[in-house]
Amino acid sequence: MATKRISIHGEWSSRWAFVLAATGSAVGLGNIWKFPYITGENGGGAFVLVYLMCIAIIGIPIMMAEIMLGRRGRQSPINTMHTLAIEAGHNPHWMWLGWLGVVAGFLILSYYSVIAGWALAYVFRTASGTFTNVTPDGVGSIFSTFLADPESLMFWHTLFMVMTMLVVARGVNGGLEKAVKFLMPALFVILLVLLGFAMSSGEFNQGLSFLFNPDFSKINANGVLIAMGHAFFTLSLGMGAIMVYGSYLPENASIARTTFMIAAADTTVALIAGMVIFPIVFANNLEPGSGPGLIFQTLPLAFGHMPGGLFFGTLFFILLTFAAWSSSISLIEPAVAWLVENHNMDRMKASVVMGISCWLFGLLTVFSFNIWSDYAPLSMFERFREKTLFDLLDYLTANIMLPLGGLLIAVFSVWLMSGEASRDELGMGEGPSYLLWRFLVRYITPVAVIIVFLRAIEVI
Ligand code: PFF
């Protein structure tokens, strides 16, 4: 057995700190903003079912693999892959898998920060009573006026990026860990309050049936790709975020158990968000497929009409911002850890460098909603005909880069790394759970990802 490595960046203070941080990474805009709108765009129940299957047979096994690689390598994903490839007697070029993740995280954060900026702006709008007793059309026009103003989007994007970098600069124990301890439980409670509202004053049954009654005629191969991509996105997989968090995990923590807790919390939050939003959509005759603005056009209606709406609404957007915050720090952590390791930078400087570059890149997304909203760079392809720069960035990262990263992680963990090493790190012995994990990661995950890719590009 190889001697255990130690991370130069520190370690989580306990297994719980890791579970909270990884849940903080997983639960974010993906659950509350993205899941409802892509479910709405892809027809509801069948999409949700495919997404849940992807979580179970692809997401959970890959999360275990990613944490395992991280804890074994104990460095940024780039250096972890380099070290582990050499240790397993393979080509050190596997470090490019780490690079794929670092680039994906950078691209995702560039747009994630803009959307999180919307949530931040809505904290102040809700608190100042903008939505009190407003009509569905009124909420819609407030949202479109907001998007049409690049300066305003830029302002909130800047604020959110600064918040992210402040935490990242403080490091594993000082920053990341402290930030997530209170946020996750609070978010959960407020979602339950909203669920009560949706049950009492929305079209609850219609909402449930939209979410859970699968109609397979409404989903196509591209929809399946989006569901699979979202399983990766929502669990923060395929790009090294969970790997780098795993690299700070204490030796004695059980990887399988922690993975189940994270996946269960993440899935529950997404499903509750769906159960809150769709009843409100149907009760107000809104369009489920209306795209990225969905929660910003539905939830303010609920807050504007419920008792205590000013309070709950403000709290909700505060918590959504926090959920996005604890995810965004994990998006950039792999890149920052790499700068610290390979360029001898201190955390502070590395965070400033990454923050500024990512902020600049984020302007592409800012402008996609206003001055470049008609610009569709790939309009020559039918599938991308109306996709703006933001849509393309989202498609490229979530539906291509993350599943590709996940596929390579699967291949590396069971085809190249020795069984002895993975058994040792997972600490499950040689029992049926280990064998099941190995079977899923060896055959099912790679084959499923490849089939979905090939179907989506219409090769099969
Ligand atoms: N899982 C986050 C969400 O659902 O909002 C987004 C995310 C974070 C994706 C970190 C990827 C990642 F590495």
Query: Residue 350 is encoded by which pair of tokens?
Result: 């590395």
CA of 305 to the centre of ligand 1 (A): 32
Contact 365, 371 (CB under 8 A): no
> Residue 98 and residue 80: Cα distance in Å, rounded?
8
CA of 329 to the centre of ligand 1 (A): 10
Report all structural domains of the chain as residue ranges with CATH numbers, in order of start: 15-456 (1.10.4160)
Start-to-end CA distance of the chain, whole Å, equals 43
20 or 29, higher pLDDT: 29
CA of 23 to the centre of ligand 1 (A): 10
283 or 179, higher pLDDT: 283
Closest CA to 240 of 373, 130, 84: 84
Look at residue 163 and give its three-state secondary structure. helix
Would you say residue 123 has pLDDT above 70? yes
Q: What is the pLDDT of residue 238?
A: 94
Contact 4, 164 (CB under 8 A): no
Atom 9 of ligand 1: nearest residue by CA position:
236
Closest CA to 292 of 39, 121, 27, 23: 39
Provide mean pLDDT across the span 432-439: 94
For 154-192, how does the pLDDT look when each residue is reduced to its tens digit (9 = 90+)?
999 999 999 999 988 887 666 666 767 777 788 888 889
Provide mean pLDDT across the span 347-365: 96
Residues with Cβ within 8 Å of residue 53, at least 6 apart in sequence: none
CA of 138 to the centre of ligand 1 (A): 31
Would you say residue 407 has pLDDT above 90? yes
Burial of 327 (0-12, 13-18, 19+ CB in 10 A): buried
> Residue 146 and residue 151: Cα distance in Å, rounded?
10
* Amino acid making up residue 202: G
> Residue 390 and residue 44: Cα distance in Å, rounded?
23
CA of 332 to the centre of ligand 1 (A): 11
- Does the C-beta of 105 come closer than 6 Å to ligand 1? yes
CA of 438 to the centre of ligand 1 (A): 25
Would you say residue 4 has pLDDT above 80? no
Q: What is the pLDDT of residue 175?
A: 61
Would you say residue 64 has pLDDT above 70? yes
Contact 165, 335 (CB under 8 A): no
- Does the C-beta of 233 come closer than 6 Å to ligand 1? yes
> Residue 91 and residue 421: Cα distance in Å, rounded?
17
Pick the atom of ligand 1 nearest to 242's CA: 13
- Does the C-beta of 26 come closer than 6 Å to ligand 1? yes
CA of 239 to the centre of ligand 1 (A): 9
CA of 229 to the centre of ligand 1 (A): 11
Query: Residue 170 is encoded by which pair of tokens?
Result: 């403080």
For 352, list phi and psi in degrees, rounded to 5. Answer: -65, -45
Mean pLDDT of the chain: 92
Q: What is the pLDDT of residue 174?
A: 66
Contact 101, 238 (CB under 8 A): yes
382 or 378, higher pLDDT: 378
Q: What is the pLDDT of residue 274?
A: 96
Q: H or E element: which one contains 345?
A: none
- Does the C-beta of 262 come closer than 6 Å to ligand 1? no
- Does the C-beta of 106 come closer than 6 Å to ligand 1? no
**pTM reported for the whole predicted model:** 0.94
Which stretch, 144-153, 278-287, 419-428, has highest mean pLDDT? 144-153
Would you say residue 315 has pLDDT above 90? no
Report the percent of the chain where pLDDT is more than 90. Answer: 72
In eight-state DSSP terms, residue 217 is G
Would you say residue 1 has pLDDT above 50? no
For 327-338, how does the pLDDT look when each residue is reduced to its tens digit (9 = 90+)?
999 999 889 988
Closest CA to 92 of 101, 83, 105, 100: 83
- Does the C-beta of 25 come closer than 6 Å to ligand 1? yes
Q: How far is CA 373 from the centre of its chain?
A: 24
Residue 296: pLDDT band by 50, 70, 90 thresholds?
Answer: very high
Provide mean pLDDT across the span 390-413: 95
Pick the atom of ligand 1 nearest to 324's CA: 5
Residue 3: pLDDT band by 50, 70, 90 thresholds?
Answer: low
> Residue 460 and residue 454: Cα distance in Å, rounded?
6
Pick the atom of ligand 1 nearest to 402's CA: 11
